[in-house]
């Protein structure tokens, strides 16, 4: 629920505990992709008191809104909480959520104002006063200073004004002369308010069907044909204009609080279930984060215990075709939050398999581009290599196959848009192949994506012996479309390509100028990444001052340059000017000492493909293809939308 930032510390209220996190990273330090790493330090057990917002006062004491007991409270080593203030209309401290006290504003380090949804003194009495029973209370004076509000939240003192969110009307505004003055309407139930310079950051939530019906917000959006959104809005305090917004359309339906981390690009918090909580340590003069040795999974005769606090949901199993040929099938698909078992599969898992134990197929929740790299050894192609040149595009969905708690197979898809997803990794440990595990992983992934509303799933892969004997028969069994050739791949060494006679055959006339692309300050063509663009031989070509072509390259490894894109104006293509530009780029690499080069040519460019086949193929050390296939997994939904 509540979040509070104090220096390098982050405080958070949860269902029955109040947590204190510390940032492990110093200025300029990074851990993987993040520049803030919040690690849990201490937890105080408050009990399930429905704690909402929390702050630190000027003495560093934690104060939080104890909503069930209708009071402000602090912590004590002797008690779950210690009450320090209650509204004047609350006659008794009992766990009845009498007025739904929820927000706290500080002024000069002292509790100054609170918000409540009503002034009722009976159990859950506020629920009958959601439309206009909300109030703001002055803590020091013990008096109500504003009434007639609709479920107010998130009071904040900023720039000499008392700001708050009138959640039931979806408005951001401020209190002046006992009145609420709205400045912006937000299309959601607003909770969570933070400021930076002249900007307000406002959290939005969807409405709960029973708790929040009949509000002005709901009626206003309904009359416009809209529904409340969940997301975040950035608002100009001077004009009330919405400058930016972000809507969540997946599993997140509600937000409660927002904090601002100025200058931070990617913060991360470590939980209690990952390896990192065990392995990352700091100590005086450690020079930063130290990683301890990995934990080893020890053999056990007992069943694997469930993860504390996480529900397991059983769903109807997928009915596979009879010709799948898998003998060890799970009778159900447990969707376990987390569920990524690790360990040595050659010891415990093979023993389990020999005992005839079943393979479990599990949805992996909360998978992202950072924690997925912990399982890079279970991805193919390597996600680490993929994301070095092609940044993640959308939400990841993972399915794992595990035996005796250790993963033996893993499939991951990436959402490209609301209708389309791509399988970016499919891997089964060698000793567990030829048992239908990969087929079942893909089938379960298809079903999971279909349930999420995805219409089509695609797969691109480089040809190899493994794809010929394993992947393509799998896709055929699951009725995917016949694969189409998209790209021809080539790889060679500079010492071999240097022997090509055409490298010196087409010199450029003086009217043409080759120039370094990065020095010219030109924008990149669409879909070309600036990351790792190679300055050595990313070149442009001018004719009488006008840019007519380019060859752009990327350093994909310390010893390898990828020739990413090549273009030449059609009027100059037949004169061999493109060959001259490409030859110049290769010459510069040959003279640099970078030994390997790689590239690909699309079948959509037949002239370039013809040039490669005729002039480059004899000097390549490796040739392959990239093929693409797809499958409609929600054809009914697609036809309805069309």
Q: How many helices (H) and strands (E) does the chain have?
A: 13, 37
Residue 76 φ/ψ, nearest 5 degrees: -150, 140
- Say how many C-beta atoms besides its own lie within 10 A of residue 346's C-beta: 11
pLDDT for residue 478? 93
Domain boundary (480, 506, 537) is at 480
The first and second tokens of residue 572, run together, are: 């100059």
Count: domains in the chain: 3
Q: Give the Cα separation of 108 and 543 in Å (integer).
A: 66
Phi-psi domain of 225 (left: phi exceeds 0; alpha: psi -120 through 50; beta: other): left
Domain that residue 375 falls in: 330-480
CB-CB contact of 488 with 610 (8 Å): no
Indicate the DSSP class of residue 50: -
Residue 297 lies in a domain: no
| 367 and 502 housed in the same domain | no
Residues of the chain short of pLDDT 70, as ranges, are 209-213, 293-357, 389, 486-489, 602-609, 611, 622-623, 635-642
| 498 and 449 housed in the same domain | no
Q: Give the Cα separation of 471 and 423 in Å (integer).
A: 12
Strands (E), 25-151: 36-45, 51-56, 62-66, 71-76, 79-85, 101-107, 110-116, 134-138, 143-149
Residue 618 lies in a domain: yes
C-alpha distances in Å from residue 266, one per residue of 35, 262, 614: 6, 11, 48
C-alpha distances in Å from residue 176, one per residue of 139, 146, 173, 201, 408: 17, 9, 10, 21, 63
What pTM, to 2 d.p., does this model score?
A: 0.54
CB-CB contact of 84 with 73 (8 Å): yes
Residue 641 lies in a domain: no
| 447 and 493 housed in the same domain | no
CB-CB contact of 264 with 36 (8 Å): yes
Closest CA to 403 of 471, 464, 330: 330
| 468 and 617 housed in the same domain | no
Strands (E), 275-383: 280-281, 290-291, 312-315, 333-336, 360-364
Residue 191 lies in a domain: yes
Residue 289 lies in a domain: no
Strands (E), 418-528: 420-428, 456-462, 484-493, 512-516
At 569, which CATH number? 3.40.630.30
Instruction: Please list the helix, strand and coil fractions of the chain in percent, rounded to the nearest 5, in that order.
Output: 20, 40, 40
Indicate the DSSP class of residue 252: -
Domain boundary (427, 454, 480) is at 480
| 447 and 352 housed in the same domain | yes
| 614 and 499 housed in the same domain | yes
Cis geometry, peptide bond prior to residue 381 (ω within 30 degrees of 0): yes
Phi-psi domain of 108 (left: phi exceeds 0; alpha: psi -120 through 50; beta: other): left
pLDDT for residue 213? 67
Residue 93 lies in a domain: yes
Going by their DSSP bridges, the two strands 242-248 and 267-269 should be labelled as unpaired
CB-CB contact of 538 with 553 (8 Å): yes
| 11 and 154 housed in the same domain | yes
CB-CB contact of 20 with 43 (8 Å): yes
Residue 142 lies in a domain: yes
CB-CB contact of 95 with 124 (8 Å): no
| 263 and 343 housed in the same domain | no
Residue 636 lies in a domain: no
Closest CA to 199 of 162, 230, 241, 247: 241
C-alpha distances in Å from residue 258, one per residue of 1, 74, 79, 83, 450: 10, 21, 29, 25, 32
At 217, which CATH number? 2.120.10.30
**SS (HEC) of 562-589:** EEEEEEECHHHHCCCHHHHHHHHHHHHH
Radius of gyration (C-alpha) of the chain in whole angstroms: 30
- For the stretch 110-140, pLDDT in tens is 999 999 999 999 988 888 888 889 999 999 9
Beta bridge partners of 515: 540
| 85 and 211 housed in the same domain | yes
Domain boundary (425, 450, 480) is at 480
pLDDT for residue 272? 83
Going by their DSSP bridges, the two strands 17-23 and 9-13 should be labelled as antiparallel
Closest CA to 188 of 146, 235, 148: 235
Q: Give the Cα separation of 122 and 94 in Å (integer).
A: 10
| 501 and 584 housed in the same domain | yes
C-alpha distances in Å from residue 494, one per residue of 145, 168, 437: 78, 68, 42
The first and second tokens of residue 539, run together, are: 């070149």
End-to-end CA distance of the chain: 41
Beta bridge partners of 44: 18
| 66 and 181 housed in the same domain | yes
Closest CA to 394 of 457, 336, 339, 439: 457
| 516 and 474 housed in the same domain | no
């Amino acid at each position: 629920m509540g979040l509070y930032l104090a220096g390098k510390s982050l405080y958070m209220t949860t269902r029955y505990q109040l947590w204190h996190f510390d940032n492990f990273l110093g200025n300029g330090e990074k851990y993987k992709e993040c520049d803030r790493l919040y690690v849990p330090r201490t937890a105080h057990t408050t009990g399930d008191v429905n704690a909402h917002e929390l702050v630190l006062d000027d003495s560093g004491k934690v104060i939080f809104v104890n909503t069930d007991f209708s009071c402000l409270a602090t912590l004590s080593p002797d008690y779950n909480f210690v009450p320090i203030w209650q509204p004047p209309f609350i006659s008794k401290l009992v766990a009845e959520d009498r007025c739904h006290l929820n927000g706290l504003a500080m002024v000069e380090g002292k509790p100054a104002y609170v918000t409540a949804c009503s002034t009722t003194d009976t159990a859950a009495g506020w629920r009958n006063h959601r439309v206009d029973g909300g109030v703001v209370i002055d803590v020091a004076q013990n008096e109500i200073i504003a009434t007639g509000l609709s479920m107010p939240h998130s009071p904040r003192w900023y720039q000499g004004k008392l700001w708050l969110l009138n959640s039931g009307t979806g408005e951001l505004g401020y209190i002046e002369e006992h009145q609420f003055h709205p400045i912006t309407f937000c299309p959601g139930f607003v909770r969570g308010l933070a400021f930076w310079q002249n900007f307000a950051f406002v959290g939005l939530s969807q409405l709960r069907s029973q708790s929040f019906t009949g509000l002005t917000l709901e009626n206003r959006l309904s009359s416009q044909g809209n529904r409340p959104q969940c997301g975040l809005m950035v608002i100009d305090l001077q004009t009330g204009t919405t400058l930016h917004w972000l809507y969540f359309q997946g599993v997140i339906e509600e937000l409660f609080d927002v904090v601002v981390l100025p200058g931070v690009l990617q913060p991360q918090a470590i939980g209690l279930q990952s390896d990192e909580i065990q392995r990352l340590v700091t100590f005086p003069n450690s020079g930063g984060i130290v990683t301890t040795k990995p934990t080893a999974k020890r053999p056990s005769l007992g069943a694997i215990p469930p993860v504390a606090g996480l529900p397991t949901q059983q769903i109807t199993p997928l009915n596979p075709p009879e010709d799948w040929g898998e003998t060890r099938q799970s009778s159900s698909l447990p969707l376990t939050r987390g569920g990524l078992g690790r360990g040595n599969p050659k010891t415990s898992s093979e023993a389990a398999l020999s005992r005839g134990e079943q393979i479990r197929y599990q949805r992996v929740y909360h998978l992202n581009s950072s924690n997925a790299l912990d399982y890079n050894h279970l991805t193919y192609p390597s996600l680490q290599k993929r994301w070095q040149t092609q940044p993640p595009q959308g939400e990841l969905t993972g399915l794992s196959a595990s035996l005796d708690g250790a993963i033996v197979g893993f499939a991951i898809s990436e959402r490209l848009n609301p209708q389309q997803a791509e399988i970016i990794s499919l891997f089964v440990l060698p000793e567990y192949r030829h048992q239908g595990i990969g087929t079942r992983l893909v089938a379960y992934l298809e079903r999971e994506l279909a349930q999420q509303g995805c219409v089509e799933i695609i797969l691109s892969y480089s040809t190899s012996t493994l794809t010929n004997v394993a992947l393509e028969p799998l896709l055929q069994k699951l009725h995917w479309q016949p694969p189409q050739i998209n790209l021809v791949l080539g790889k060679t060494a500079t010492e071999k390509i240097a022997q090509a006679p055409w490298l010196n055959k087409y010199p450029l006339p003086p009217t043409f100028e080759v120039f370094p692309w990065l020095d010219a300050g030109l924008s990149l063509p669409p879909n070309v990444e600036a990351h790792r663009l190679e300055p050595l031989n990313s070149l442009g070509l001018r004719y009488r001052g006008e840019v007519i072509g380019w060859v752009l390259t990327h350093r994909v490894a310390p010893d390898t340059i990828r020739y990413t894109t090549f273009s030449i104006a059609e009027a100059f293509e037949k004169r061999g000017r493109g060959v001259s530009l490409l030859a110049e780029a290769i010459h510069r690499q040959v003279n640099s000492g970078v030994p390997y080069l790689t590239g690909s040519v699309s079948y959509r460019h037949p002239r370039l493909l013809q040039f490669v086949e005729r002039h480059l193929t004899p000097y390549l050390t490796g040739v392959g293809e990239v093929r693409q296939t797809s499958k409609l997994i929600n054809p009914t939904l697609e036809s309805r939308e069309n």
